[in-house]
Structure 1
């Protein structure tokens, strides 16, 4: 029942019936204000019970002289209805699940994670080598690598002994360049294969820019 309807219903009663209704509400408010389940549970109905007891008691006092005090009767009606409303249960706090860990990029598991090429008979880094080296260094924390293996290669031009030495120089150059990029905590292993493992197999003595390289693997 709406509060205005309840007030109107009270005002429509005869004096005797109104006194009985106000008395019933006063008694209900008094009982609820003494109810430990309301008091200990911090139930808002406890406060409305106090208000019901006070306002209905005031209205009853006026009725002793057959006076209908509209203010106290209206407040008695309002408080009584609110006292009898069952409060909605508190909503449970929903804790969202933690976000999934970032997905490990597929490139982290590639057999070769970086490759640097060289000019003929040279162990000096070319201008475009920086991009490949930066990519490897940036992926160290992303992929969680603890070791990098740097392997130098040459093409088939020149003697085997000379090419072993040249591939070693190239591997050392790349390893030093990686160390300069602050890949701290990562063990860098250096190896040299000379012309024994060409990327593009060609006849002995053939120059090939694809084979003059350093390959970087990681784990």
Structure 2
């Protein structure tokens, strides 16, 4: 049986394998992704490999779950293979430091996404790092108004997702508060499974939709 998602990643050659061999290939990729997410050096690198590792872990795990019932879920298999390929690619060369001056602080008002594991209301580790970067820059850049809006994917009921999205936003706001942002400077809300980052059918676990959007401005 072949299941498909509403958003199709590039087709993977893994789909041509028999179930037994496919299970082994997915498990190998999942293990590689899990090891990468536990690598502190990778987490602190100035490139996207940590993000690819988290996405690969999520998608390979979903694909393995489907395989337990004998289902080849094309969407998660394709994404699993794609994200592991990105994780495995050589990182771009580091940008050399300027010889005479420290790098300029980027005060472009951010609009960033903080991502979450399925059914979780605490952000992934790289999300906490992003929050820290926002709070550290806020005073220097003069940001004094923040929007913190939570969202979910389409899995689960609407009422539950509305509550989950709000808890996600509240937890991100709490971390920002710990970093020195005044709570009354933040507008916190949860919009459930609306405004999807990746359009999917109902009841689809899409990691890119499980997020909190943080915006900042100077008034």
TM-score (norm 1): 0.49
Q: Which has the larger radius of gyration?
A: 1
Q: Which has the higher contact order (CA 8 A, sep 6+)?
A: 2
